[in-house]
């Protein structure tokens, strides 16, 4: 067999290997994304407190909120959608500022830790910000 034919066969074999493994590499990120199963979507909890931090980050934004109660302040971490999706809903990185007083509704974490899935909030000036998620206790994206 000539050198040219050997190289052509080797390239064909490499091409076939690449064609078989490429879809596996593309599937990885989709599998890494979590579901909403960690949140109890049948419960809605309202928190009234002060924004400690608004994290406009990928893959999910977060509202860090300090909530007074029972003689102490509890720090909650509330997960939102991605900044890209929030932007389509009218949000911006300046939608919330440290020190803003808010009333926030969320689905709590199932493990009882102070965290949850954002549903909506009302700012002190009356402005409403929404997640676009259902608020009727019907879970979404549970795997």
* 140: three-class secondary structure by DSSP: coil
Predicted confidence (pLDDT) per residue in 50-75, tens digit: 999 999 999 999 999 999 988 999 99
pLDDT for 27 equals 47
Q: Are strands 128-130 and 101-108 parallel, antiparallel or unpaired?
A: unpaired
Q: Locate the DSSP E strands across the chain.
A: 45-55, 62-69, 72-79, 101-108, 115-123, 128-130
d(CA 143, CA 129) in angstroms, rounded, equals 27
Residue 98 pLDDT > 50: yes
Task: Provide the pLDDT confidence category of residue 136 given band limits of 50, 70 and 90.
Answer: confident
| Residues paired with 121 in a beta bridge | 104, 129
CB atoms within 10 A of CB 49: 20
Residue 82 pLDDT > 70: yes
Which pair of tokens denotes residue 6?
Answer: 């050997």
* 43: three-class secondary structure by DSSP: coil
The conformational region for residue 77 under phi > 0 = left, psi -120 to 50 = alpha, else beta, is beta
Query: Mind spelling out the 3-state secondary structure of 57-83?
Result: CCCCCEEEEEEEECCEEEEEEEECCCH
């Amino acid at each position: 067999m000539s050198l040219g034919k050997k190289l052509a066969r080797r390239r064909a074999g490499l091409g076939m290997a690449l064609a078989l493994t490429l879809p596996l590499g593309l599937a990885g990120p989709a599998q890494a994304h979590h579901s909403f199963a960690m949140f109890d979507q049948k419960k809605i909890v309202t928190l009234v407190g002060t924004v400690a931090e608004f994290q406009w980050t990928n893959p999910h934004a977060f509202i860090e909120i300090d909530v007074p109660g029972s003689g102490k302040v509890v720090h909650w971490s509330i997960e939102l959608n991605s900044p890209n999706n929030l932007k389509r809903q009218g949000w911006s990185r300046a939608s919330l500022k440290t020190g803003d007083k808010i009333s926030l509704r969320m689905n709590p974490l199932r493990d009882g830790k102070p965290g949850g899935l954002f549903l909506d909030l009302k700012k002190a000036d009356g402005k409403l910000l929404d997640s676009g998620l259902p608020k009727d206790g019907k879970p979404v994206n549970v795997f």
